[in-house]
Amino acid sequence: MKIAVAIAFILILGSLGSALFYLMRDKGKNNNTVRALGLRVGFSIALFLLILLANKLGYIQPTGIR
């Protein structure tokens, strides 16, 4: 589970970095920035759903505040 979350974070950061690259290179002329930010949102939602599913199936356990 830790590996899946780490991969999802890397994908989110990579998409954010590519959006910054397209923003600086294209200066808003193309839709590449919007597409990259849309992918970032999709990866974030997928990560959230993955964590909820893992909790429901018992792969991870809530520990609470210590």
pLDDT at 22: 84
**Which residue is listed with tokens 């997928």?**
46
Q: What is the pTM of this model?
A: 0.74
Residues spanned by the domain of 17: 2-57
pLDDT at 49: 93
Token couple for 40: 């970032």
CB 5 within 8 A of CB 13: no
pLDDT at 45: 93
Question: Considering the domain boundaries, does residue 65 fall inside one?
Answer: no
CB 60 within 8 A of CB 3: no
Question: Considering the domain boundaries, does residue 53 fall inside one?
Answer: yes
Question: Considering the domain boundaries, does residue 45 fall inside one?
Answer: yes
Question: Considering the domain boundaries, does residue 62 fall inside one?
Answer: no
Overall domain count for the chain: 1
Question: Considering the domain boundaries, does residue 63 fall inside one?
Answer: no
pLDDT at 56: 92
Question: Considering the domain boundaries, does residue 64 fall inside one?
Answer: no
How big is the chain by its Cα radius of gyration, in Å?
16
Within the chain, which residues score under 50 in pLDDT? none
